[in-house]
Amino acid sequence: MMMINSTEVLWRYLCFLITVVLYLIIVAVNVLLIAVICVNRSLHEPMFLLLCSLLVNELYGSSGLLPFLLVQILSDVHIVSAPLCFLQIFCLYSYVNTEFCNLAVMSYDRYLAICCPLQYHAVMTHHKVIFVIILTWLYSFVKFLITLLLTVRLTLCGNVLNSTFCRNYLVVNLACSDTSVNNIYGLFGTVITVLVPLLPILYSYTKILSVVLSGSKQTRQKAVNTCMPHLASLLNFSFGCLFESLQSRFDMVSPFFNPLVYGLKLGKIRLACKTLFFHRRKPASSF
């Protein structure tokens, strides 16, 4: 019996250590790239401003889950207060919506850069990009604040959630009051969450694909290099959400994957990192 307890404790601390390391890496890598983009004026371009918004969202989403998960790993009693549960619902759901919207705006940015290069700087001005970023975050926050308010008003007849984190529909299922408004708004919200980002993504990549197929080899290569980081992030996040829906687990690969793929793939990011951390003064010329 003592051996079983020791094994369980060892396994618990191993999981805790792995999660801590993962969270620290996520924070460090995302903060590093955000700092590089903010410090270097040469990176104050629409694409990198949108990337900065994406990275901030990765920090926001991972911080909505992993600290809570760390506490639960070490705790013998897996109890969460109602306010903390509702806060986690808001953070994780708004993170997902903001991620999709950020990726949608980034896909449109890549469409303009490849298909309409002469109009790019006229359309994607700094003021417009900042406005779109603010609008994206406000849209996600307001949308899921309404969701949360509809859930908070319910009378709950249970208090057990069979999940590693708080999810809105599980809380709604505990209610013994009328949930018809929640169900209707939840269905509507799910459709909007998918369709609003999906339409510009499909439009953008349809146009990009037509240019790639009809262009020269150099044009195709440039389009692939330009779109590959965004497409990799989009596919990673989409499959992560699908996996979460099927397996009832939340995907935390995106906060770790996105900064790595953008940091490694984009030459300007790599150059800015080298300049920031490995810059050396040139020795004075001798005569």
Question: Residue 124 falls within a domain, yes or no?
Answer: yes
Q: Give pTM, 2 decimals.
A: 0.79
Asked whether residue 113 is assigned to any structural domain, the reply reads yes
What is the domain extent for residue 188? 2-272
**Residue type for position 104:** A
Q: Residue 229 contacts by C-beta under 8 Å, 6 or more apart in sequence?
A: 261, 262, 265, 266
Strand partners of residue 175 = 156
Give the pLDDT score at 236.
65
Distance CA 50, CA 135 (A): 12
- Residue 96: inside a domain, yes or no? yes
87: domain CATH number? Answer: 1.20.1070.10
pLDDT of residue 4: 47
Residues 128, 108 contacting (CB under 8 angstroms) = no
Q: Are 62 and 252 in contact (CB under 8 A)?
A: yes
Q: Is residue 69 part of a domain?
A: yes
- Averaged pLDDT in 10-residue chunks for the chain of 287 residues: 61 86 90 89 87 92 88 79 89 90 90 87 91 94 93 86 82 88 87 85 85 72 69 66 48 58 58 62 38
Say if 248 falls within a structural domain: yes
Question: What pLDDT does 130 receive?
Answer: 94
Q: Is residue 286 part of a domain?
A: no
Three-state secondary-structure class, residue 175:
strand
Start-end of H helices in the chain: 2-39, 46-74, 82-115, 120-123, 126-152, 168-173, 180-214, 217-247, 253-265, 267-278
285 in a structural domain = no
Domain count for the chain: 1
**Considering all CA atoms of the chain, what is the largest pairwise distance in Å, rounded to the nearest integer?**
88
CA distance 89 to 268: 36
Q: CA 152 → CA 25, 79, 183, 210, distances in Å?
A: 34, 18, 14, 48
Residue 279 domain-assigned (yes or no): no
